Amino acid sequence: MKLAIAQLNPTVGDIAGNAQQILSAAEQAAQQGVRLLLTPELSLCGYPPRDLLLRPGFIALMRQRLDWLARELPAGLAALVGLAENNPQAATAGEKPLFNSMALLENGRVQAVFHKRLLPTYDVFDEDRYFESGTAPNHFTLTEATGATVQIGVTICEDLWNDADFWGQRAYAINPTAEVVAAGVDLVVNLSASPYVVGKQRLREDLIRHAVEQHRCPIVYVNQVGGNDDLIFDGYSVAVSRQGELACRAPGFQPALEILDFDPVQSDLSRAQTHPLPSAPEAEIWSALVLGVQDYARKCGFSKAVMGLSGGIDSALVCAIAAAALGPEQVLGVLMPSPYSSEHSIADAAELAQNLGVSTETLKIELLMRDYDSVLRALFAGTEAGVAEENLQSRIRGNLLMAIANKFGHLLLSTGNKSEMAVGYCTLYGDMNGGLAVIADLPKTKVYALCRWLNRQAKAGEPLGKLPVRRPATEVIPEHILIKPPSAELKPGQVDQDSLPAYDVLDDILERLIQQHQSAAEIVAAGYDVAVVEKVVRLISRAEFKRRQAPPVLKVTDRAFGLGWRMPIASRWSLDVAASQPAAAV
């Protein structure tokens, strides 16, 4: 019996377009004799639909398209299609209004609807906001043309993730996988929309293999692919046979239709196509960010991007990502030197643009700096030049970039990294401007690592998205950008380390604060200077107002700034510095 994994890239909210994608996959699958098509979680509306789910018209439209799809599906093909369904007993039982469901379509009709049981409500996930949990194990019988039957257990994304034995602790009271296996199924399918985080695919495969071994039941895991705002779905759908062997792995970061064979006699999956995993974390992150930019642009209706090129490493990396995502001819880099810009900055930016094949414009900002000063002279009389004047330079550049974006319909990409977003070493309404913050979940040290990887790939002549392979193969990020001390160049001789700890120190402290939720006392106990730690905690807390107004941040770690980071502003979270000190000192 043939199964197909439809690793789809839906646009959130585009129900008609997503239904058409499912139908096209179904038609291709039917031509190959497939009996059952598997699509990702909420495949009709795309994941995450967020507050679109609060609109009854949106729910009604999904059901309408589902019925249409049931009628249009090729004869002989069954399909599992994801949608949000009304919960009819919500008002009487005091439950949430919707279910996160998978509908089984066959013979022109909706044959069954299965409800997700475990609803993630942490990080970027808000499923308890909308959905009620399903109460019963989900399974059905599929009959082959020969009359043979296969019992299939249906789990939806998180349903697979409460494996107490794997994690060493439970995250939910029930284990839906164990429940469907106990019901006697031959095969478990897990239909997911699981966002990318660095290293996550290895974790997923370990988890799936562990579940297969524990339950002695093959599992087919289907993931969504594509960028939806801040979230990047990496695909890599996999099937694991009853023996715990990888029977199939779809490619990462691209749509795919993978055909699997399930043998009802052996009651197992046969070996099919297996695409490799990325060779290094940098390779994954690169592919994720390229896809994130590509899909954000496409789904918002942009074909071209613009960004400032400072000659620094952050804008260099963002420019390379944009060129790989959209094509170099679709990218405009804008050099905006001031009197504080070094010669090498301009030369480095120009060399980068040439390496990448992107066009550039140069707009000098000195005149604007002078005239802002003259407009503000009387008001600022007697004050020292400082942060206000430095920020003005950044904001002049931000305005010029937005003027270009508005004039030509380009998407402005912001170029800040996670380290500077964390401590507020960036200018709100200046260099933070943009529709998408491409590398704002990458700490500065990781920005360097990714650029070095990129240069190695380029020198080895490896393909890099839509970047042309250069002959002879050479680096793309000019070496000088990688070795010079980082500087915002907002005053003469300025370097980042005038204001911040060394980036390896800063990034480790930030990782402890942001990802590991360590208190300042714990970080000090790990060997860091108390004054440095307290400074970083103070900076991160005070920069919350900037982060609140940042563009969506492409997420590549398990704790990114954006919708999964919900911190108060008018607040004092620096106070937990004192958590391990004597009460009298608080």
Whether 41 is catalytic is yes
Query: Considering only residues 492-521, where is the footprint of its own copies by CB under 8 A?
Result: 517-521
- Marked catalytic residue, from 157, 217, 319, 426: 157
Residue of 381, 387, 460, 483 that binds its own copies (CB under 8 A):
387
For 346, the enclosing helix (H) or strand (E) is helix 343-356
Query: Considering only residues 115-154, where is the footprint of its own copies by CB under 8 A?
Result: 121-122, 126, 128-129
Residue 334 sits at φ, ψ, to 5 deg, of -115, 120
- CB-side neighbour CA atoms (13 Å) of 292: 29
Number of residues that bind its own copies (CB under 8 A): 111
SS3 514: helix
| DSSP codes of every residue in 41-77 | TTTTT-S--GGGGG-HHHHHHHHHHHHHHHHHSPTT-
Q: In angstroms, rounded to a whole number, what is the distance separating the alpha carbons of residues 200 and 203?
A: 5
Q: Is 453 near its own copies (CB under 8 A)?
A: no
Identify which range of 235-243, 489-497, 503-511, 550-558 contacts its own copies by CB under 8 A: 550-558
Q: Is 83 near its own copies (CB under 8 A)?
A: no
Query: Considering only residues 327-356, where is the footprint of its own copies by CB under 8 A?
Result: none
CB of 46 to its own copies, least distance (A): 8
Whether 157 is catalytic is yes
- Marked catalytic residue, from 2, 41, 446, 451: 41
Q: In angstroms, rounded to a whole number, what is the distance separating the alpha carbons of residues 456 and 444?
A: 19
CB of 364 to its own copies, least distance (A): 7
Buried b (16+ CB within 10 A) or exposed e, 59-73: bebbbebbeebbeeb
- Marked catalytic residue, from 116, 299, 444, 466: 116
| DSSP codes of every residue in 271-285 | P--BPPPPSSHHHHH
Query: Considering only residues 33-72, where is the footprint of its own copies by CB under 8 A?
Result: 46, 48-52, 54-58, 60-61, 64-65, 68
Residue of 144, 213, 371, 498 that binds its own copies (CB under 8 A):
371
Residue of 27, 205, 522, 534 that binds its own copies (CB under 8 A):
522
SS3 104: strand
Residue of 136, 183, 300, 526 that binds its own copies (CB under 8 A):
300
Q: In angstroms, rounded to a whole number, what is the distance separating the alpha carbons of residues 284 and 195?
A: 13
Q: In angstroms, rounded to a whole number, what is the distance separating the alpha carbons of residues 170 and 163?
A: 7
CB of 545 to its own copies, least distance (A): 6
Contact between 453 and 282 under an 8 Å Cβ cutoff? The reply is: yes
Identify which range of 31-39, 268-276, 403-411, 480-488 contacts its own copies by CB under 8 A: 403-411
CB of 186 to its own copies, least distance (A): 27
Contact between 173 and 135 under an 8 Å Cβ cutoff? The reply is: no
CB of 342 to its own copies, least distance (A): 21
Whether 426 is catalytic is no
Binding mask 228-267 for its own copies (x = CB under 8 A): xx--------------------------------------
Residues with active-site annotation: 41, 116, 157
